[in-house]
Chain A
């Protein structure tokens, strides 16, 4: 079953703007991961944040994790048209084996 929700479901922005996507989950986690999926393709791992971390950066990506609220956000700064894709969060539980994916956010960056 799906772990939780992502919002917004769809986001359309202009190139150069920042994009923020949120993810909520329901149970305790070991870590949370963000993936990108271009249309009809496989998933690309973007970033992993552990349950004892609050913020992580990777290039133009910034991820935050609030375990008290069971939520995470992914910020993409200075967006590019090539960032157009679906973005999914996925959680790994305490006895970590499975990835449980959120519903995803469809991001469209207009040039």
Chain B
């Protein structure tokens, strides 16, 4: 149980285009999902917290108009990188909390990540 998928796993796009990444909780409902960014050989940086049915909460320094987040259902959150540039190339990872297990321990289940390369 507690499987999170991401699609696509890899994407290469041209500069100026927009790319959508999907994060799905496959066997549980997730009112809260998280989006992280990871540069090579570095740690995960939280970009935003995605809440089902409401606006995402972005971390300081993350442009909300650049990284659009939509959490339209209890099992799906999407991250759209708009007008992508080479500096947006990175590994994007999502995670989800099981709505039935709300606790202060903040157990998150991680997706396998999406490698974005912007040419």
Min distance, Cβ B24 to any Cβ of chain A, angstroms: 13
Whether A43 and B93, one on each chain, are in contact in the complex, defined by CB atoms closer than 8 angstroms, is: yes
Assess A88 versus B105: contact at CB under 8 Å? Given A40-B91, A42-B93. Answer: no
| In the complex, chain A residues whose CB is within 8 Å of the CB of B107 | 45, 48
Min distance, Cβ B106 to any Cβ of chain A, angstroms: 4
Complex CA gap A43/B95 in Å reads 9
Out of B32, B44, B113, which one reaches A40, CB within 8 Å? B113
Whether B49 and A42, one on each chain, are in contact in the complex, defined by CB atoms closer than 8 angstroms, is: no
For chain A, give the interface size range.
20 to 34
Instruction: Summarize A's interface: helix, strand, loop or mixed.
Output: strand
Number of B residues, CB within 8 Å of A: 25
Min distance, Cβ A34 to any Cβ of chain B, angstroms: 13
Of residues 64 to 119 in B, which have CB atoms within 8 Å of A's CB atoms?
91, 93, 95, 104-113, 115
Complex CA gap A109/B96 in Å reads 31
CB-nearest residue of chain B to A1? B60
Instruction: Summarize B's interface: helix, strand, loop or mixed.
Output: strand
Whether A103 and B105, one on each chain, are in contact in the complex, defined by CB atoms closer than 8 angstroms, is: no
Whether B46 and A102, one on each chain, are in contact in the complex, defined by CB atoms closer than 8 angstroms, is: no
Whether B108 and A99, one on each chain, are in contact in the complex, defined by CB atoms closer than 8 angstroms, is: yes
Min distance, Cβ B8 to any Cβ of chain A, angstroms: 14
Query: A30 interface residue, CB < 8 Å from B?
Result: yes
Query: B54 interface residue, CB < 8 Å from A?
Result: no
Whether A30 and B43, one on each chain, are in contact in the complex, defined by CB atoms closer than 8 angstroms, is: no
Q: What are 10 A-B pairs with beta-carbon distances under 8 A?
A: A30-B106, A31-B104, A40-B113, A42-B111, A43-B93, A44-B110, A48-B105, A97-B49, A99-B95, A100-B46
Binding site for B on A (CB under 8 A): 2, 30-31, 35, 40-45, 48, 50, 88, 92, 96-104, 106
